[in-house]
Amino acid sequence: MLNPPRVLVVDDERNIQGLLSELLAVWGCETDVASSGTEGLTLFRQKSYDLVLTDYSMPGGSGLELVENVRNSDPAVGVIMLTASGAELDSHGQRLGFTLLRKPLQIDHLETAVKQALGDRNIQA
C-alpha cells in the first residue's frame, strides 16, 4: 500500500483538532496536530506534509503567517484555512493559494476541499 497522505492540523481548540484528526483518519490520512501557528511551523519544518489544515485566528501566530511560511518553504503543499471570522480572506487565498472554509464547518465541503488539495493522492471517502 502507498504511504497515506500526511496532514498537519493547526488549531488552538482541542475539540476541533480531535474532530479534524478523526475525519482525516477515516479518509485514510495520517495527522499531526499543533495548537498554534508557531508550533505548526516547527512541525512543518521537521516533517513532510501533503496538506496543512489551519485555523485563521490563533494565539502564537495567525494562520496567514503560517501559510506564508509554508508557501515560502514548499509551494506545492496543499493548504486549507478555516475561519469563523467575517474577515475578507479571499484575496489572501488567491495570493497565497489556499482554500478558505467558513465555520461552522460543513463536513462535505471539507471532504471535497481535502480531496482537491491532495490531488492524485487517494483518500477514502
Q: What is the pLDDT of residues 75-88, one digit of tens each?
A: 999 999 998 876 67
Task: Examine residue 123 and state whether it is found in any structural domain, yes or no.
Answer: no
Task: Examine residue 29 and state whether it is found in any structural domain, yes or no.
Answer: yes
Q: Which whole number is the average pLDDT over 22-38? A: 96
When divided into structural domains, the chain yields a total of 1
CATH of the domain at 98: 3.40.50.2300
Task: Examine residue 75 and state whether it is found in any structural domain, yes or no.
Answer: yes
Task: Examine residue 73 and state whether it is found in any structural domain, yes or no.
Answer: yes
Contacts of residue 67, Cβ cutoff 8 Å, sequence gap at least 6: 52, 54, 79, 81, 92, 96, 98
Contacts of residue 121, Cβ cutoff 8 Å, sequence gap at least 6: 5, 50
Higher-confidence residue of 86 and 27: namely 27
Task: Examine residue 22 and state whether it is found in any structural domain, yes or no.
Answer: yes
Task: Examine residue 125 and state whether it is found in any structural domain, yes or no.
Answer: no
Host domain of residue 15: 6-118
Q: Which whole number is the average pLDDT over 93-104? A: 86
Summarised one tens digit per residue, pLDDT across range 40-86 is 999 999 999 999 999 998 987 889 999 999 999 999 999 999 988 76
User: What is the reported pTM?
Assistant: 0.92
Residues in the chain: 125
Task: Examine residue 16 and state whether it is found in any structural domain, yes or no.
Answer: yes
Task: Examine residue 18 and state whether it is found in any structural domain, yes or no.
Answer: yes
